[in-house]
Amino acid sequence: MFKEKKKKLENDEEKEKQEDAKLNGVSKNLKEIEEDLQSFIEEEISDKEVEQELARLEQLIQKEKLEKEKEYKIKSTYTVKTKRISDDIREILPLWIEKPIYWITPGNKFEKRKEQWTKEWAQLLIAYTDTKHIFVVIVRDIINEFPFKNPLVKKQLKREQFVEIGDQLVGERRADWLDKKKTRLFVTWQTRDETSEDLYLWAQEEGRQFLSIFELMEDEYWNTLPEEEIRKIFSLLVREDKAIYVDSRQKNSIRFEFRY
């Protein structure tokens, strides 16, 4: 038994060494990309040069998707600084997340390219908030979180860039700014009907027949839902006969009508 455990341990150690060697190779390749682009990024570059580089990278990404998708994906064992990338986040990462050029916003002259850039980042934001079950993001916080800040390529979205991404989602009616200064963004990564159904099933599983707005805003799983949105969800549940108001005047609390 001891020999079997020892042999298994040795095999595990050998696998870890092999994985580390692969990851070092990935880091080396990405470092080379960074060095190649560093002089390009630091120089005063024209919109046309940025356009050409983005087009070139787009072709490269398409080629990677078709021919070497597995090889270029960020592995679940890779660490960003000291923080391990979780499997759920790894699965939503686009291939271009490793490309430093994607942290440069295309100029206004290239309207189609800029629109594509904004949409791609907006799609990543939707996927991120969905995966994390976050409804409201605070701009100053999220631009300091991976993947919007990527130590791997030493790049980070600026505030004005993130605001452009948020504006894109607002234009698509998939988000709303919660203040005039655009510091907090309410992201609707699912419909209100879907959120109300999720809340109903969650309450049923948790045995929460009575629920108030305050209690929901204090719950770790739901605490990013804005109060106004919670009220709309409560109203929807009442209209669907899935709940009734406990306080008919203020409408701050509901009692679920569970159907077993």
pLDDT > 90 in the chain, percent: 52
Question: pLDDT tens digit string along 26-52?
Answer: 455 555 555 555 555 555 566 666 666
Q: Which helix (H) or strand (E) holds 62?
A: helix 47-67
Residue 101: its pLDDT value, please? 85
CB 236 within 8 A of CB 193: yes
- List, in sequence order, every beta strand (DSSP E) within 81-181: 83-84, 136-138, 149-150, 155-156, 175-177
- C-alpha–C-alpha distance, residues 204 and 200, integer Å: 6
Domains of the chain as residue ranges with CATH = 14-187 (1.10.10.570), 192-256 (1.10.10.570)
- C-alpha–C-alpha distance, residues 191 and 12, integer Å: 45
In the three-class reduction of DSSP (H, G, I as helix; E, B as strand; rest coil), residue 210 is classed as strand
Cβ contacts of 27 within 8 Å, gap of 6 or more: 152
Question: pLDDT tens digit string along 105-134?
Answer: 887 777 888 899 999 999 999 999 999 999
Averaged over successive runs of 10 residues, the pLDDT of the chain (260 residues) comes to 44 57 51 54 60 68 55 39 69 88 82 90 96 95 94 91 96 94 95 94 94 94 93 96 92 91
Residue 151: its pLDDT value, please? 87
- In the numeric block, the tokens 């990405």 are attached to 30
Residue 44: its pLDDT value, please? 55
CB 216 within 8 A of CB 202: no
Q: What is the DSSP letter of 150?
A: E
- Which pTM was predicted? 0.65
Residue 86: its pLDDT value, please? 79
